[in-house]
Amino acid sequence: MDQTPELAPAVAAILEAARERAGGEPVSVDPRPLPDALADAATEGRVPLIAEVKPTSPTSDGRREDDPVELAEAMVAGGAAAISVLTEPTHFGGSPEALERVREAVDVPVLRKDFLLREEQLDVVAADAVLLIARFVDDLEGLVAAARERGFQPLVEVHDREELAAALAADATLVGVNNRDLARLEVDLHTFERVAPEVPDRVTLIAESGIGTPADVRRMRAAGADGLLVGSAIMDHGGDGDVEANTRRLVEADAEDTSASDTEETRT
């Protein structure tokens, strides 16, 4: 489904680099269930948040040099239900080694976030889940099956209804809707709201990109998000913000909304 000419230059460069990356030794994983972790967080009254260890990105103004393990542990302490780790080295500053260290240090599911195009690229590092971007994969059904053969839980990322249809045809049960347009790198939360109604109840649905405030969290949850993937708002690439506090602020967004409603009812 790759339509490289329609991609933003930064994204096209990321894909070009991704095509050159090889795989490794075959990987077999006994995964920590990601859907269960998200559902458990919601049951406990926490926003089901996947917090992302992302040192930098093409849309960020800066870079965090913190140890990935310290970042992940702070996110879990802040209430994150799961952790996402970038393993793309050239444009995001990630590495498979960082993911391996994080997964050893935390007891929540860990998602591998990368631009995976071929089956052999799955065989790099053990993770509980892997991101597969529908737009970039030629044989999505085959790659979903290959991920499952290794024990990975494939999270298939889509941006529109056409890509959602491809994900469902590939038997995806974890679907992420990316609010960022990869052609212009613009973010629109309406993207999730347009696609979400088409997603069957059997699918665990994740809202991705552009979620920066408790209000954004509540908006995505109201639109049907079973979980939210948040990186930049937690990492604070332009400064040295408190990652644990940034995580907790979003994790407690539902409680904050309830508190505000209770206060309003008391006043009336």
The residues annotated as belonging to the active site are 52, 54, 113, 157, 178, 208-209
Burial of 39 (0-12, 13-18, 19+ CB in 10 A): middle
Q: Decide: helix, strand or coil at residue 100.
A: helix
What is the CA 208 to chain-centroid distance, rounded?
6
Q: Which of 247, 177, 163, 251 is nearest to 207 (CA)?
A: 177
Residue whose structure tokens are 């870079």: 63
- Where helices occur in the chain by DSSP H, the ranges are 9-20, 34-43, 68-77, 96-105, 140-149, 161-169, 190-195, 214-222, 232-235, 243-251, 253-267
Q: Decide: helix, strand or coil at residue 23.
A: coil
Q: Which of 13, 84, 9, 14 is nearest to 53 (CA)?
A: 84
Amino acid at 67: D
CA distance 133 to 123: 17
With beta carbons less than 8 A apart as the criterion, state whether 83 and 53 touch: yes
